Amino acid sequence: MRLQEILKGEPAKQLAEMFPPFGPGFPRTTIDHLEALQVHCSDFKDSGPDFCEFRALDVWGELIGTRRIKGY
């Protein structure tokens, strides 16, 4: 798995509220506290099916939510 992108502020919140297959579809309670969104994706060397994992971080950089969706 590799870190594909880090979004912050409003762009992070916009992606966080989008439902699969376009985003993770985090609940409003997570989005309200979200400061950054990390997008991790499966790599060619990873075994198993492709996926994207979204990690929601608060103002202190603490993990407040994780969603993994199938596909790339």
d(CA 56, CA 12): 9
d(CA 57, CA 54): 10
Could you read off the pLDDT of 21-38 as tens digits, one per residue? 899 999 999 999 999 999
Q: Which pLDDT value is given to residue 72?
A: 66
Q: Which pLDDT value is given to residue 29?
A: 96
Q: What is the mean pLDDT of the chain?
A: 94
| Cβ 19 vs Cβ 37: under 8 Å | no
pLDDT (tens place) for every residue of the chain, 72 residues total: 899 999 999 999 999 999 998 999 999 999 999 999 999 998 888 888 889 999 999 999 999 999 999 876
